[in-house]
Chains A and B, each alone.
Chain A
Amino acid sequence: MSLVIDKRADLQGQPGFHALIAGVSWYHHLPGGGGIAAPDSFGMQQLSAPALSAYMVYRWLLDHQHNLPVPLATCRLLLSPSPQELSGEPSLNGLGVPCTLENFRKAAADWRVDAGTHKDSMTCFYFGGHGVQRTTPNDSILLMEDFGDGVGGILDKAVDTHNIFYGMANSVKRPEMAETQLYFVDACRFLPPKFQHFVFMPTSNVFDPEVGRRDSRRAPIFYAAVPGSKAYAIKGQQTLFSKALLQCLSGTAGLPGDEDDQGLVQWYISIHSLIRSLRDYLAEYNHIYKADQEFTVGGFASDARICSLDRPPEVEVELAIDPVAALHCTKVEIRDYYDNLLRELQPPVDPHPYRYTLPAGTYRIRAIIDPPNPIYKDYSRLPQVMPPRFGWKARVTL
């Protein structure tokens, strides 16, 4: 059964959060899958990270459900893990159902029914696995576990992201469809050269989209890859996109909101803050893992809150003294903005540059020349330390 979280009974007519999460690493009919070989694999191989990545997204949802704008009501999980993932993460055993076309369509249909019960509900869709495009690069076709079974057309065991997106719009039949919908498509979007030989390659419909009514959804589609490009993964671990996504959702995409009566500020993550932060982190992981992945946002990207944060996010801070020659006589103080001393670094600051983490906020950072030196001066700033990172260079030269 794909429904791994079911709290619908608790909602009592109130809005809820409904998730559909799928990850396919093991493809039965691709080379090494053990099944009858696909008539053509189009160069695709077994994967080793999408199912685990989908599981991590599921875990994040479970662990942060109290931070969601509406109570977590349902989560449907479809996983087709590789043997490597199964041995590395035993929790994957028996969790959810395999992501075959039939299972996916059934789970999606049920998901849509739940999503259609309240306009203020939220939905989340995540798919990790093989993805392709047909001859129109705006496509995003998601391949199910049974892709290549030789039954029907080539893309018979595949679904079209647009079909899901438009099928989730409100309509005469579903006037109460959730208006905040998040889509994460963690898959390649490249055109196998042989696809050019085909006139038309239909996918299997998940929904029959209707000509809808006013579509005021806040419904961004976060594509892990721009049209015509690939999405990457760290073998046996995690996709780059899910790694960046979860890093952002852990707090680094956080924004300070309004203050309450006590002057306390509630931090939150919104669609727009996630877009900005994802761009930064994907760029960083590209640099680390020598990839060239670039994400893009489709759908309707109006802003909405995704989740709140329990506390200000931790920010990696790096402090440096300039010039380095002043290290021997420069003491550093870090105070909160009420002037409480948080940290004092005696000269010489070691290691240099000095790195640690601070909760996001405003800090008074001082570099004090001690003992006084005629060629250096004290230095003080009151910077905003905001995620994801903060670097500060104390210029103490006169």
Chain B
Amino acid sequence: MSKLFFDFEDKYFSQAGIPLEIRKLNLALVARTLASEPIDITPGTYHVTAMLPTGQKLSAQVEVIQGVDVTAILGYEEDTGSPDMLKTEAFSPHDIFHSHAHPEPKSTPNRMATRLRAFRYNELSNNYELVANQQWFEQMDHGPSSDFDTVQIRVLTDKAHLVQFLQPNARVTNILLPTPQTCQLIVTWFPNRQCSLIVQFQNMWADMLLQYSIRGLFDQATTMITSRLLSIESLFSQEGSDPIAATIVAYFLLRSGDFDQLRMWTENLFTQFQWLSDSVIIRSEYLARVGEHDEALDTLLRIESDRLPIFSDGLLYAVDRLRLYVNTSDSYFNNERIVKAQAILNHLEQHISFVDFSNPLLTFTGINPNQPSNETAREELSRYGGVDITYGLQTLIPDAGFDEERPDSTFSQPLPSSRDTKAVNETQSVQVLVVDDEIAMVDLLADMLSDVGYEVARAHDGRSALALLRAGLRPRIVITDLMMPNLDGVGLYRAIRTEFAEDHIVVLIMSAGKTVNLGDPEASFMTKPFSIIDLLDAIERFA
């Protein structure tokens, strides 16, 4: 027997504990291990292959002689570079764990304005509250590679639990952050001026495991969890427990259905980190799968007073399981528990419609994280405050939207500061506000009106339209659909007449059905379908 060690031509990988496959020349599998774990092996010729989470391969061929230890040094496989060949994703050491690397050099002079805001979870009020100063991030720097257009921000998760991502006229995105560790936000700009945001965990091994898992590289993920750095002993130790890494391992075990390991992991998670909704959900899902449904439901009922799970998988597991239980006959679970389960389900389902399930971390839309919606950010991002990261550290500006003497102010709707009010007054260029829950309809009307020269703002229900008005927006005309969730067209009209009576805002309500005379010279119904000519005529008539 000989000892086979592993190393990489690119030393960056040497520290990463990447999973490897060792195969004979006839391709029979000899072993799976981590690069940090040498193996005993009989003499012969072997292939050693590492597949990165991005799908790219590193490999080495090694001749093992009896009694002589040897190191396989893995390098990139030589690709022909032909565009016709099936490609894995672009790659650089900086991006080994993520797919967002982009081959374009950083030369995007005109980026989409981008801001971040941070929120804390208040245990007493069960609400996310805006963190009014910038102490939630530790540093702001460009990424390590000059080839990619990135900005990195380290978020201190003892100060912030949720980060909000704002771009003009785009849906507002909220990302729940893993606590209690710090994590890295990586913002990458693409040539089309758009950018993406990745959350990278402090625990590099857990981060890799998650990436392997979500990309369907289960063999590699299974090898990862053999690492002692991802062992129960390591992640639940007194000195350095890591609930987030433990949660990632447990979610993977749920996906891969390893019941023996799951029992121990879920017990430990649930016992030690009950404050983490994910641990409650994982435990409950495990119990359900082993047929302990009573206990599973009891466990799930603990979610109510807790926060949302940090991971999207958690939300799906909880909703699927709760739906099943609330539809189970009363004789199995008593009615009181079913009623409670239904209430939790309703609470979770309120979010689920706004969740982006392609992200592993729970990511949902809405300007107010406590009330998810499809709301888009306004053109003037400065009204929201937060941190401007459009051009990275060089243009870091003070938090515009909040009074520094009013730390951790409770979130309501974004309130304009005196500076913002001035900005609103100076730029009363928005002439029309289009409101409809059908995004395609909003876009269609807004685009048509923009084409003929109107400044147009958009909202996706009455409530978000009202929020815009309360924040200082003063359109000349509001064109609103009648039937909308949250606040319908008539409700919006009444609110406008009550709160903004002096502004004489014209309201046109679009309706496919019966209309009534509102008895208001500055308000009218428009019967669907109507042409753009009809609409322009109506605007001309009132404006």
Contacts and interface: CB of A to CB of B under 8 A. Distances in A.
B25 interface: yes
B218 A395 contact: no
A275 B80 contact: no
Interface residues of B, number: 57
Contacts of B26: 256, 259, 263-265, 337, 361-362
A265 B437 contact: no
A392 B57 CA distance: 13
A340 interface: no
B75 to A, nearest CB: 11
Given A193-B440, A214-B291, A265 B28 contact: yes
Interface string A260-284: 0001110000001001101110001
Contacts of A386: 27
B293 A211 contact: yes
A214 B286 CA distance: 10
Interface in B288-333: 288-291, 293, 316, 319-320, 323-325, 328, 332
A393 B86 contact: no
Given A136-B353, A138-B320, A302 B80 contact: no
Given A318-B80, A393-B78, A362 B289 contact: no
A393 B81 contact: yes
A5 interface: no
B158 to A, nearest CB: 32
Contacts of B84: 318
A196 B86 contact: no
Contact of B353 (A135, A217, A272, A294): A135
Nearest to A382: B61
Given A215-B289, A320-B82, A384 B59 contact: yes
Interface in B411-469: 437-440
Given A257-B29, A263-B26, A362-B27, A392 B78 contact: yes
Nearest to A210: B328
Contacts of B77: 383
B216 interface: yes
Contacts of B256: 301-303
A7 interface: no
A368 B26 CA distance: 25
A259 B438 contact: no
Contacts of B27: 256, 265, 312, 360-362, 384, 386
Interface in B378-429: none
A159 interface: no
A389 B85 contact: yes
B43 to A, nearest CB: 16
Interface string B43-65: 00101010000010001010000
Interface in B25-39: 25-29
Given A138-B320, A265-B26, A320-B80, A391 B85 contact: yes
B217 interface: yes
B257 A136 contact: no
A259 B28 contact: yes
A166 B47 CA distance: 43
B355 interface: yes
B67 interface: no
B253 to A, nearest CB: 10
B238 interface: no
B79 A391 contact: yes
A226 B353 contact: no
Contacts of B539: none
B317 to A, nearest CB: 10
A332 to B, nearest CB: 13
A162 interface: yes
B218 A318 contact: no
Q: Most chain-B CB neighbours within 10 Å: which of A136, A197, A213, A303?
A: A136
Interface size class of A (residues with CB under 8 A): 35 or more
Given A256-B23, A279-B215, A137 B86 contact: no
A383 to B, nearest CB: 7
Contacts of A391: 78-82, 85
Contacts of B328: 211
A136 B352 contact: yes
A167 to B, nearest CB: 11
B352 A137 contact: yes
Nearest to A260: B28
A296 to B, nearest CB: 8
A272 B219 contact: yes
Interface string B211-222: 000011111000
Contacts of A294: 358
B78 A301 contact: no
A382 B59 CA distance: 11
Contacts of A265: 26-28
A334 interface: no
Given A256-B27, A382-B61, A389-B86, A196 B218 contact: no
Nearest to A275: B216
Contact of A226 (B85, B257, B259, B358): B358
A301 B325 CA distance: 22
B91 interface: no
A209 B291 CA distance: 14
A300 interface: yes
Interface string B83-103: 011100000000000000000
A362 B25 contact: yes
B141 interface: no
B290 A393 contact: no
B356 to A, nearest CB: 8
A256 B49 CA distance: 14
A69 interface: no
A69 to B, nearest CB: 17
A272 B59 CA distance: 21
B104 interface: no
B319 to A, nearest CB: 6
B357 interface: yes
A193 B320 contact: no
B255 interface: yes
Contact of B319 (A138, A211, A320, A337): A138
B80 A209 contact: no
B485 interface: yes
A226 B352 CA distance: 14
Contact of A275 (B82, B218, B357, B438): B218
Closest 6 A/B residue pairs (Cβ): A302-B257, A275-B216, A256-B27, A259-B28, A391-B80, A272-B218
Given A360-B27, A393-B81, 7 more contacts: A137-B353, A193-B437, A197-B483, A216-B289, A298-B316, A362-B27, A383-B61
Interface of B: 23-29, 45, 47, 49, 55, 59, 61, 77-82, 84-86, 215-219, 255-259, 288-291, 293, 316, 319-320, 323-325, 328, 332, 349, 352-353, 355, 357-358, 437-440, 483, 485
5 contacts: A214-B290, A316-B85, A361-B27, A381-B78, A393-B79
Interface of A: 135-138, 162, 166, 193, 196-197, 209, 211-218, 226-228, 256-259, 263-265, 272, 275-276, 278-280, 284, 294, 296-298, 300-303, 312, 316, 318-320, 337, 353, 360-362, 381-384, 386, 388-389, 391-393, 395
